[in-house]
Amino acid sequence: MSHADRILMGPGPGNPYPEVIEAFGRPVLGHLDPDFIALLDETNDRLRQVFRTDNPLTFPVSATGSAGMEATFVNVLGPGDTVVVGVNGAFGERMCDVAARCGAEVVRVEAPWGAAINPQALLEAHPNPKVIAIVHAETSTGVRNDIEPLGVDKGDALLLVDCVTSLGGIPLEIDGWGVDLAYSGTQKCLGVPPGLSPVTVSQAAIDRFVDRSQSWYLDFAMIANYVTGGGARAYHHTAPISMIYGLHAGLGVLLEEGLENSQARHQACGDQLQDGLVKRGFELFAQEGHRLPELTSVVVPEDRLPDGLDEAGVRRRLLDEFGIEIGGGLGPVAGQVWRIGCMGHTARPRNVTMLLGALDEILG
């Protein structure tokens, strides 16, 4: 089956919108060309609309979502600073690793994989942290962590949120919830291939930047002039022109559909998939009430695997015979769960119908 026919229902990337692929073919401009600067400004305006923020410092970091994580941490955390991190999956773990490499003291607040973090536990974990960090949509487990209560009671702490799999897919209010630093990725619910990490930073966070970020490339203070500097832009690094065309186009599709309509489409597909799986006797993995529509985690039905086929074999048959990709489990749940994405352009009822039919065919 041709690669063009693939339905990407893994934990990401989802399928890109056709308009995005078209945008990659546009002539490349120089990164200081006034026409490109105008397009970058418009991209950042679109990002502000999608993040639901007025933060002037809102732009795509020139690398994938993990670079947004690293950038947000390294600009506000250095040796001697304390960060409280919610850990209920692989990406909360990654935050701890990044924070420790900044030299920060890391206070972990854990919940089992598949469960949500208790916001109160996060707020009470340390009397005076510089940063409270949490993943909004834990792609490794399919769990949504609550953000809003953290903004209400964060006190002097900066609230740092991983929005890689939530932006565009589920409700998110950067300003309304008091989020100070957030990063996302292009390849999850935004319908753009991987390659950029949209970030947004509040004035309160800018006021508390470390003096000299340990990363040269990701130093927001140095990048700020190029991404938000008004008329005269200073070179920091060459903007990835074609990726920004793609993001600009993807955000255009999203805003034309309407942010709420896009979220409703993700929710409808997640509901259709999760209802379909439950009807077939499958057990959903994520805690009820905290299930993400854009990433469904389901316990591998060991007793229903065909003779001679393990869970990876089922996923391989989905790919080879139906052109559908789904994801396996990570870390402690490797081999025990499947992770099924309905993200961006992939979040369509017909894709869900096709996957459920294919599972019926393979599992009988």
Ligand X SMILES: *Cc1c(COP(=O)(O)O)cnc(C)c1O
Q: Which residues of this chain interact with ligand X, rule CB under 6 A?
A: 12, 64-66, 69, 91, 135, 137, 139, 162, 164-165, 185, 194
Question: In terms of CB distance, is 82 or 139 closer to ligand X?
Answer: 139
To ligand X, the closest distance from the beta carbon of 89 in angstroms equals 8
Question: In terms of CB distance, is 86 or 276 closer to ligand X?
Answer: 86
Place of tokens 């065919």: 361
CA atoms within 13 A on the CB side of 74: 19
Cα dihedral 209/212/214/218 (nearest 10): 60
To ligand X, the closest distance from the beta carbon of 109 in angstroms equals 17
Instruction: State how far the Cα of 10 lies from the Cα of 323, in Å rounded to an integer.
Output: 12
To ligand X, the closest distance from the beta carbon of 353 in angstroms equals 25
Note whether 151 and 177 are within 8 A (CB). yes
The H or E element spanning position 92 is helix 90-101
> By Cβ distance, which residue is nearest to ligand X?
65
Question: In terms of CB distance, is 66 or 225 closer to ligand X?
Answer: 66
The burial class, CB within 10 Å (0-12 / 13-18 / 19+), for 252 is middle
Cα dihedral 351/352/357/361 (nearest 10): 90
CA-wise closest residue to 123 among 102, 107, 139, 100: 107
The burial class, CB within 10 Å (0-12 / 13-18 / 19+), for 231 is exposed
User: How distant, in Å, are the alpha carbons of 38, 161, 251, 292, 351 from that of 287?
Assistant: 44, 20, 31, 10, 24
Question: In terms of CB distance, is 91 or 177 closer to ligand X?
Answer: 91
Question: In terms of CB distance, is 53 or 165 closer to ligand X?
Answer: 165
Question: In terms of CB distance, is 70 or 358 closer to ligand X?
Answer: 70
Instruction: State how far the Cα of 356 lies from the Cα of 286, in Å rounded to an integer.
Output: 19
User: How distant, in Å, are the alpha carbons of 135, 201, 260, 267 from that of 59?
Assistant: 20, 9, 22, 27
To ligand X, the closest distance from the beta carbon of 8 in angstroms equals 13
To ligand X, the closest distance from the beta carbon of 177 in angstroms equals 17
To ligand X, the closest distance from the beta carbon of 195 in angstroms equals 8
To ligand X, the closest distance from the beta carbon of 50 in angstroms equals 17
Question: In terms of CB distance, is 41 or 146 closer to ligand X?
Answer: 146
